Amino acid sequence: MITTRAWAGRRYAVLGLARSGAATVQALLTSGASVVAWDSDETRRLQILPGTGRGTGAAGGGGAPQAISSAENPLHQPAATAALQPASRDDLPPADRSHPLRPPPRTGEDLSLADPLSLDLAGFAGVVVSPGVPLNRHPITQHAGDVPVIGDIELFAQARAELPPHKVVGITGTNGKSTTTALIAHICETAGLPTRLGGNIGLPILGQDPLTEGGVYVLELSSYQIDLTRTLDCDVAVLLNITPDHLDRYDGFEGYAASKARLFAMQSKGHAAIVGIGDEASAAVARQVARSGRAEDLTRIAPGVCMDQSRWPALQGPHNAQNALAAIAACEALGIDAAAIDRGLESFPGLPHRMERVATVNGVLYVNDSKATNPTSTAPALAAFDRIHWIVGGQAKTDDLDACRPAFGHVAHAYVIGEAAPLFARLLTDDMPVTQSGTLDQAVRAAAASARAGETVLLSPACASFDQFRDYEDRGDSFRSAVQALA
């Protein structure tokens, strides 16, 4: 795990004990800090206590040793249940589920349980909160006063000085950041660089072992994580795009865009800034970086650049052309040669639930794009295939599908499901044939009956999943099962 002497002898509160919070507690304790931990989920509180009988807290510290959850880890870090939930856990995804976290060290009075809102936090070095805690609604910011409210990425930034020499790539954006982050990490590994994937993807960064000298930490950073970070100086910072999302957490769209821009404000001059300029908000960030005296550091990724993507099976569609361009620019900034970049692009396997090719049945391609939880995210998938049988619906985040409209000509038939089915049927019926299927299983069966060889059945819901599923991963897994049943 990542530790630092800088935390030794200091006191921290940790609010939210899901995977990143549990890893944070472990890293702080191992570094010699004392920790007061809390989660509204009693199970997580019990699991985080040491089993020595010396831990303190309302639940007690005795009994058999308790380990952190043995459930396998998702690709993305889930939101904590520390109080109010984020607007949609669908925005916090899945899939490398092979590395269970280790239990925390068994310490005594260094770890206790208490809600930080019940404590006088004067003298604490920081309150480390889950990104899922909405700072604009949760009282912890006001209660903390002058005590810094930070996240695990800020702790990582503080630990960097004691790590072997390395570089950090930070990637943010409303859409495409998971694919771009995983692609950059894959290219780095292809080039033989020691690499760690973290942030909002993979394992918690503090729970991973430090890299050897010359390594690269590749971090997907949501706006929530950037909000909780103060000193992360990325050697390479990437902004893909900014479109309206998570506006319940910000003072309008401008506040959301400003959160993304902070990734570059934390950078030193001479460190690479890569910005997609396909939308006005991102273009404004690029201008801001240039005006700050860092024009030489800036690479702009323009929309609509034609590329030969025929050798990149997992990177199809115009949106993935932009993702690939950003990844290429980032890897070039790291000094990776063109041949290694090409090998990485060609061998990249893609991400589960993101334009994932599930199967071809009777000549029909079935594609799982369950991660597309808003219309802007669905639009690229519609543009990537011809003759689509589109399964769409769930809990709508918007009352229109305007972002998808430019690709409506690719849709042969739409199958609407979930709460949004009546709304989407009205929105789509003038542009394409529509079937109100209701459930995902019914939609898959109806699409399979209608689709012909050479066509595509695409699950790209443009909605959250909670009306019918646990999360979008569960929805994507259900789609896979329905497709497998066809065969």
Instruction: Please report, for the chain, how many H helices and E strands are present, in that order.
Output: 14, 19
Contact present, 46 and 59 (Cβ < 8 Å): yes
Please provide the distance, in angstroms rounded to a whole number, between the alpha carbons at the two ends of the chain. 44
Q: Give residue 221's Cα distance to chain centre.
A: 7
Which among 226, 224, 261 is positioned nearest to 92, based on CA atoms?
224
| DSSP H or E stretch at residue 143 | helix 140-144
Determine which one of 177, 271, 389, 410 is catalytic.
177
- Report how far residue 51's alpha carbon sits from residue 48's, in angstroms, rounded to the nearest whole number: 9
Determine which one of 138, 166, 246, 413 is catalytic.
246
Pairing of strands 272-276, 364-368: unpaired
Contact present, 111 and 104 (Cβ < 8 Å): yes
The verdict on whether 319 is a catalytic residue reads: no
Other CB atoms within a 10 A radius of the CB of residue 123 amount to 8
Determine which one of 73, 175, 200, 323 is catalytic.
200
**CA distance readout (Å), 481 to 40, 74, 99, 456:** 34, 19, 24, 17
The verdict on whether 246 is a catalytic residue reads: yes
Tracing tokens 């510290």 back to the chain, one arrives at 61
Q: What share of the chain is helix, strand, coil (3-state, %, to 5)?
A: 35, 20, 45
The verdict on whether 362 is a catalytic residue reads: no
What letter would DSSP give residue 38?
E
- Report how far residue 19's alpha carbon sits from residue 130's, in angstroms, rounded to the nearest whole number: 10
Kindly state the tokens that stand for 187: 């290219």
- Report how far residue 296's alpha carbon sits from residue 270's, in angstroms, rounded to the nearest whole number: 8
Q: Which residues contact 385 (CB under 8 A, 6 or more apart)?
A: 365, 367, 410, 456, 458
Active-site residue set: 177, 200, 246
